[in-house]
Every structure is written in C-alpha cells, then in structure tokens.
Amino acid sequence: EADIYQTPRYLVIGTGKKITLECSQTMGHDKMYWYQQDPGMELHLIHYSYGVNSTEKGDLSSESTVSRIRTEHFPLTLESARPSHTSQYLCASSEFLSGAPKAFFGQGTRLTVV
Amino acid sequence: KQEVTQIPAALSVPEGENLVLNCSFTDSAIYNLQWFRQDPGKGLTSLLLIQSSQREQTSGRLNASLDKSSGRSTLYIAASQPGDSATYLCAARSQTGANNLFFGTGTRLTVIP
C-alpha cells in the first residue's frame, strides 16, 4: 500500500563518519517526518517538514539535520556519527490536513555506529 | 503536550481468542487516531484510521473504536492468529500546533499456537 521508501535498510558505520539516510515517497504528500526508535521503545519525532524548503525540529532533540528540496525526497544527515546515534530511523509522510490525513511509514533504517 | 498511553504493554493469548488493546490520550483535540502494526525491526503498517467525527472503523477481523470525549480508543482483534503477533501502536494526530502524530509505547502481542 505504502509508496515510501527508505535506504539503506541496515547500516553499520564507524564513529566520525558522515551519513545520509534516504527517504522518498511517490504519493505527492506535503508533510514528511523522521522518527527515531530505540528497540522496544516508543517513536520520537525528530524532524518534520510541511513541504519544499520547510524543515522543523521535532519533540526529541537530535544532532541530525534534514533538507527538503523536492516534495518527494526528505533525507536525514548525521555529520559525524557516534555510538549514541545507534537506533532505528523511520520516515513517514502524509497529506497535510486533507480529509483525514493518513500517515504512511517506510520500512526503516537500522543504524549501528561502532 | 499530547500524551498517549497503551495498556497492556504486553499480552499473550492462545490462538482463536478475541482480544482488546487499549489506547488513551490526554488531549481530546485530535484530528484523527490511527492504529499501526509493527513487526520486529520493521517499519509501521497502517491498520485503521478513525476520524475525530467517527465512532469506529472495521477492517476484516479488526475493529477500532474512538471515544474522543473520554480520550480512549480500543482495537478489537477477533479470532486471533499466530500471524497477528506483533507490536500494535496507536497514534493521535493533534488538531493544534503542527498537527503531528503522537505515539503510544505500544502493546506487544503474542498469539500462541
């Protein structure tokens, strides 16, 4: 059902490396989100966007940054990865206040920083 | 800030049983409420979405209800199957601020064959 894709699915990377997690959706949704989820824990919103050139910080402080140059693309970047960044990162999208906006999620990227 | 709570945190039932998962939220000013399923290490799959004006939604063996005034939603699963084993999350979309989704911590369901 969902046309939202995240790459890579799994990533193991060394401390200090710069990484970009990709998220793309083909549904033309205005709003996109990044959530962080530790194993067995709740989802925390770290970034969201209302549309092109819009980026906002979420409820959980994060050292990552995001950009929204195209409607369909919402990449998340960590300039210098640390072991504390090890987590699962989930991307989502929804229409913005259209009818009953339904959120669609990608399959997630499981990041391990060693 | 909206707070969403799910009870129980974990539930084990024998195959074939009917079960109810509970979700409560503190701010009744919601746009809608969405139930998701999450398999281990995977993303979220949307199960049901209930608009704030609706009382319930049904899809197959699943039925979700919403009582906005009391800040509660339930997910009813009929005739549970081992394939239903997963974590179930509810999320309330706020009417205020950025209209973001607020998630509960989930109920981990195990259906025993």
Kindly indicate the confidence band of residue A100, based on its pLDDT and cuts at 50, 70 and 90. Answer: low
pLDDT over threshold 70, residue A97: no
Residue A112 contacts by C-beta under 8 Å, 6 or more apart in sequence?
A10, A11, A12, A13, A86
Kindly indicate the confidence band of residue B100, based on its pLDDT and cuts at 50, 70 and 90. Answer: confident
Asked if A19 and A81 count as a contact pair (C-beta separation under 8 A), the reply is: yes
A36 neighbourhood in chain B, CB within 8 Å: none
Asked if A11 and A110 count as a contact pair (C-beta separation under 8 A), the reply is: yes
Pairwise CB contact (< 8 Å): B31 & A100: yes
Max Cα distance, chain A (Å): 44
Q: What is the pLDDT of residue B83?
A: 97
Token pair in block for residue A74: 């919402």
Token pair in block for residue A88: 């699962």
The Cα B79–Cα B18 span in angstroms is: 5
Q: What is the pLDDT of residue A49?
A: 94
pLDDT over threshold 80, residue A65: yes
Nearest CA-CA distance, residue A104 and chain B, Å: 7
Q: What is the pLDDT of residue A98?
A: 56
Question: Strands B72-77 and B19-25: what pairing?
Answer: antiparallel
Q: What is the pLDDT of residue A2?
A: 60
Asked if B30 and B95 count as a contact pair (C-beta separation under 8 A), the reply is: yes
Q: What is the mean predicted confidence (pLDDT) over B93-113?
A: 89
Kindly indicate the confidence band of residue A1, based on its pLDDT and cuts at 50, 70 and 90. Answer: low
Kindly indicate the confidence band of residue A99, based on its pLDDT and cuts at 50, 70 and 90. Answer: low
Identify the burial level of B11 via C-beta atoms within 10 angstroms of its C-beta, where 0-12 means exposed, 13-18 middle and 19 or more buried.
middle
A10 touching chain B per CB within 8 A: no
A90 neighbourhood in chain B, CB within 8 Å: 43-44
Pairwise CB contact (< 8 Å): B101 & A45: yes
The Cα B90–Cα B103 span in angstroms is: 6
Pairwise CB contact (< 8 Å): A1 & B46: yes
Least confident of A44-58, A70-84, B17-31, B92-106: B92-106
Q: What is the pLDDT of residue A96?
A: 62
A108 touching chain B per CB within 8 A: yes
Residue of B34, B43, B99 lying closest to A102 (CB–CB): B34
Least confident of A80-89, B39-48, B79-88: B39-48
Mean pLDDT of chain B: 93
